[in-house]
Structure 1
């Protein structure tokens, strides 16, 4: 019997574990299941993961051998920190003289507050000479005597000279202790921040190791042969072995799964993803086809953990309406779920009979201005979902869809109190709720300088219809609800790419040093199972902080999607014209590869040179690259070094801020190589040569060049 290979994504939430099966070729959703998260089972969350997997295989008619890719996302690391459920960490500082004074101060990490009244459990010992095995042994004995279950070794300048940390690491490992060396967690300078990041990683290490071993054993027992991957907080996945080394990378990974789903399934290239649940909305940015990340704040302090930039607003599908003085004042933060009240729009007409409006204090500390209905069937909450259904904003088949007539009946008492009709009352509720989201969205658009003409708002989560459609309408941006929005997170886990980020602080980095960081990132994702031919590496060099950053991504297999569903020439032209905000007759095909077509137009400006916006559209008809004003050149691999050198020279700007090479992207084969993070012209050209080194001499290369102002 011919079987289809599938990709499985499992999202372990606080209450439920969701799992999906996606066709490995077409990326079509084949099945989805939901089981209670098994926190209290002897095997912990591993039991729920295997139960979800077994039910999924049964539902889709697949067998374990059909699983080509299996990944899971978990909130366990985040919850461990939020709940203060961490291991006592033995911090061993290394150094003499001034260095010793610096490391001894790190014992103050024991004052970090995990939860109100509960501090990070920390034991400290010091080693002057890490080459003295007896002294190292005594330090390890000391922290173990104080209750340490895991050890961290830290030393000033260990990024450049890791031998001292390695000596302590080896000694602790030989005793069977879980151990972390600070230089392995991050290679960035800054003893305090580097050590704090390593200590938090170590504090959750024993619990995460235990879970990893249980999940691994359970999956193997279930007959799965494909390696198990784990969701990272930056939207990619990593191998289980890498998670065992750096469990901290799974902290804050909850929202990352949804964004990965939006990026891979919805193929957003410029816009915002809004994941709306019952109580809140997580907002994240996708810029030029990549998720926006930043160093995360953990336990109230900035860390060296690169995580998704997610901003949360306390407005969701279940957020309750608040009224005062005959007006809707705001929505939330209290939700119907927390208040223990059913949504009015999901009641029956009989249950809403005789409904009257009242205001209540849902929880003891809440203000008494939350609107509810007291009716024949009991007390009901008026929510954002009720208002969206009353206006017909919730599409057919959506998780949150209710009978529009019932929703309108639920809003009628509120409308009467406001002195308006039902549609106006519903609009005012949505206005109040989305205003809070809109404020954050506008800030993020500004922070990341998104292309205003290309912004797309995509809603995910069970409550998507209560926020995204109305926000799109009031903001003027294009908006839509993601397909299968209620399971967008496990879909994101199933579709996510292997990701690795390498950061180095290198003052005045040479071309060779930049290429070495790039190569290290590439090797790291290949070591975790990414197919070598499909790895993409984005390099950024920040001259202000002297940071060289390489982000490598790749699939665990080269996915070949069903060509039968590809867009034709006319469809791609229509997509490009819509994105360029002009008529198809005004759009020209500038260049193309088998995987991408480059379109452009000309925008005339008074008293200024015309602008030449460009869009790169893939074979699926999805805009993969926006350039507000760019030059496009086609060449071959053999001629590219000469052509690119001339292009870069012509487009490099010189000013008070120094030399700024243009933003360069190369279209090669099926890939878009983004080299826009490098400002030095010679380093940029060196990276371009490295991208072309394995290509045939006659292969076409398209350069999209944007001069920086």
Structure 2
């Protein structure tokens, strides 16, 4: 019998990373291939074939995929011919939005409101009205619904979002609208807010539903194409830190908008936990961007207050901050005459100048190449680099700025490091966390390149560079459980709470989650449910989410425990709570949430035997490298030949197939039993 291989494939903007896990031996095989932005499916299928060949044969038993198809569609704002159906009298909900401007009115005098995701002339309203409890005030008006459906059909608008007022409380009017659209406009792809986000706040629910409708056609085609040609059953990574079968994801594509970055954070959390670090900052440096997240006690933090590009997306997602500071980020001169780096990227094609594919502008990768911090080739020689072309482009930029070549290249890397540092501050300091308490896990093809500089800028205690750092996101796909999230809104004060309503709400959500796990092949003995609730003090506009204990919902002890957790969480977040003044500040229950989880078998990282603590066995060569203070003849180590216990002192270069770690003077790197490198001052 041949090898049984579980495969994780993460499609990034520049490279497609792939990991295969032998389910019997635990052996891990990694490789990567250039992405194919014009047709991501080709890069996916090429990566699958390449890793099977690298593994020496065998059969794929399962495929997990992290994709940027939905994300890129939104970031590039390629949203066309999208229609919106809403309640009569609320056609301006997208225009009114939240009446907010970025950075406050004082800093946004010249701010211009961006165009809405659906212009007002493509909005149609339908009669009928529910109140906040779901009670029907006016019946669904089928005549106006038919008129709206026929208008979209005649205009050739085939992607439609439907969001009626208070449909989170009762979906019947939206379901009736779908039946009308099926009958009158059968070619339309329809998203209903009661299925996408059954939660109150009409603006966020409307936009989230429209985003789902916008990406549904392209995601459905993409998933159908790769599923038909994939060598094994396909699961897709979701933003919430779980996976779901391709068939299910095709019906809820919005859940994949942070698919790739989520897999990276989970992979880094898995690796960090094995080294005894439960709480870390993760930094995923790619070719196009850098994604940072925080892991607390082994779990990445979650949020529902995210956005992709300019579109607010209110779905459960790992709390990730993304900046345009990847290896392909372009260095340019602003109208004021100062150097800028990113967010524009050279991407995979044509790529940086040193790729020799027609790139015309210097990038972060070109600066690393000119300073000798990366080898004159990538992927073990598969992609030779034209350092002379990079040097010529940087000399032209340096001349425009009146700088030397080395000063210009160092400046590019310094700006890129500070861009990454500011993203880390957003995810830590702005969340009330002291960044100096958290080691950094640096991965991705470009993630380790600036690790030493980030330790200096932020005062971090250490940086961990996993084995095969360029493939951590793909590896993370193999550590992820099947997971689906369900939510209901029912606003009630705790003092007036009907225990039966609370128990019924959680029971209904668990029933939905159980049905989804049935479809995914998880019997009752192989599933679990995680419950949370959103609470606030009466009069507040926003909620705090807390974990809900197991056991019968609705009992006095159950409610008291959840309220106690809310007081504690509110005090931790804001520095105060009203636990001793319930009369003046009663607690209000708002949203009830259940996640249905189908656990998978996780990889087992194997410890390596210790070496003789003589890293010279890994010494491959030396070359001149510029670390900011002049050129230094620097030893180059092959990471694959290092052993646990080896310590490399900087200045040094530690290189491997998919990434490089430049070790600055004054830093050291030690290999642990799992093959990770820990960088300290």
Structure 2 counterparts to residues 213-228 of structure 1, below 5 A? 213-219=224-230, 222=231, 224=232, 227-228=233-234
**Alignment partner of 1:441 is 2:399:** no
1:210, distance to aligned residue in structure 2 (A): 2.2
Q: Secondary structure at the match of 1:101?
A: coil
1:70, distance to aligned residue in structure 2 (A): 1.1
1:400–1:465 Cα contact (<8 Å) kept: no
Selected match of 2:468 from 469, 474, 484: 484
1:315–1:332 Cα contact (<8 Å) kept: yes
Structure 2 counterparts to residues 197-208 of structure 1, below 5 A? 197-208=208-219
Q: Deviations over 1:373-407 (max 9, x none)?
A: xxxxxxx98625665839x9x999899999xxxx9
1:75–1:253 Cα contact (<8 Å) kept: yes
**Alignment partner of 1:471 is 2:462:** no
1:141, distance to aligned residue in structure 2 (A): 1.5
1:517, distance to aligned residue in structure 2 (A): 6.6
1:198, distance to aligned residue in structure 2 (A): 0.9
Q: How far apart are the structure 2 equivalents of 1:557 and 1:321?
A: 43
Q: How far apart are the structure 2 equivalents of 1:188 and 1:335?
A: 37
Structure 2 counterparts to residues 6-405 of structure 1, below 5 A? 6-24=5-23, 28-34=27-33, 36-37=35-36, 39=38, 45-63=40-58, 66-86=59-79, 88-94=81-87, 100-102=88-90, 104-106=91-93, 122-128=122-128, 133=142, 135-174=144-183, 176=186, 177-219=188-230, 222=231, 224=232, 227-267=233-273, 269-278=278-287, 280-294=289-303, 295-298=305-308, 300-317=310-327, 342=353, 383-384=367-368, 389=373
Q: How far apart are the structure 1 equivalents of 2:525 and 2:164?
A: 38
Q: Secondary structure at the match of 2:270?
A: helix
Gaps of 5+ in 1: 95-99, 348-361, 364-369, 373-379, 568-618, 623-709
Q: Secondary structure at the match of 1:383?
A: helix
Equivalent in the alignment of 2:569:
none
Structure 2 counterparts to residues 603-682 of structure 1, below 5 A? none
Q: Deviations over 1:228-277 (max 9, x none)?
A: 21122233222223222211112233322322321234436311111123
Structure 1 residues 232 and 90, CA, compared in 2 at 3 Å: closer, same or farther?
Answer: same
Q: Deviations over 1:208-245 (max 9, x none)?
A: 222222222223xx4x3xx3211222332222232222
Q: How far apart are the structure 2 equivalents of 1:208 and 1:293?
A: 24
Equivalent in the alignment of 2:510:
519
Structure 1 residues 385 and 554, CA, compared in 2 at 3 Å: closer, same or farther?
Answer: farther
Q: Secondary structure at the match of 1:192?
A: helix
Equivalent in the alignment of 1:640:
none
Q: Secondary structure at the match of 1:165?
A: helix
1:89–1:123 Cα contact (<8 Å) kept: no
Q: How far apart are the structure 2 equivalents of 1:286 and 1:457?
A: 10
Question: What TM-score, normalized by structure 1, do the two folds share?
Answer: 0.60
Gaps of 5+ in 2: 98-111, 129-137, 537-542, 544-588, 611-672, 677-681
Q: How far apart are the structure 1 equivalents of 2:346 and 2:14?
A: 17
Q: Deviations over 1:186-227 (max 9, x none)?
A: 1111222212211221122222222222222223xx4x3xx3
2:117–2:207 Cα contact (<8 Å) kept: no
**Alignment partner of 1:552 is 2:539:** no
Q: Deviations over 1:120-162 (max 9, x none)?
A: 9835242447656555433322221122213333321111111
2:6–2:21 Cα contact (<8 Å) kept: yes
Q: Deviations over 1:570-626 (max 9, x none)?
A: xxxxxxxxxxxxxxxxxxxxxxxxxxxxxxxxxxxxxxxxxxxxxxxxx9999xxxx
CA RMSD, aligned part only? Answer: 5.1
1:6–1:68 Cα contact (<8 Å) kept: yes
Equivalent in the alignment of 2:483:
499
Question: What TM-score, normalized by structure 2, do the two folds share?
Answer: 0.62
Selected match of 1:539 from 531, 552, 555: 531
Q: Secondary structure at the match of 1:20?
A: strand
Equivalent in the alignment of 1:630:
none
2:15–2:32 Cα contact (<8 Å) kept: no
Structure 1 residues 553 and 495, CA, compared in 2 at 3 Å: closer, same or farther?
Answer: farther
Q: How far apart are the structure 1 equivalents of 2:331 and 2:221?
A: 44
Structure 1 residues 397 and 526, CA, compared in 2 at 3 Å: closer, same or farther?
Answer: farther
1:26, distance to aligned residue in structure 2 (A): 6.1
Structure 1 residues 453 and 334, CA, compared in 2 at 3 Å: closer, same or farther?
Answer: closer
Q: How far apart are the structure 2 equivalents of 1:488 and 1:251?
A: 19
2:238–2:244 Cα contact (<8 Å) kept: yes
Q: Which has the higher contact order (CA 8 A, sep 6+)?
A: 2
Q: Secondary structure at the match of 2:250?
A: helix
Structure 1 residues 246 and 37, CA, compared in 2 at 3 Å: closer, same or farther?
Answer: same
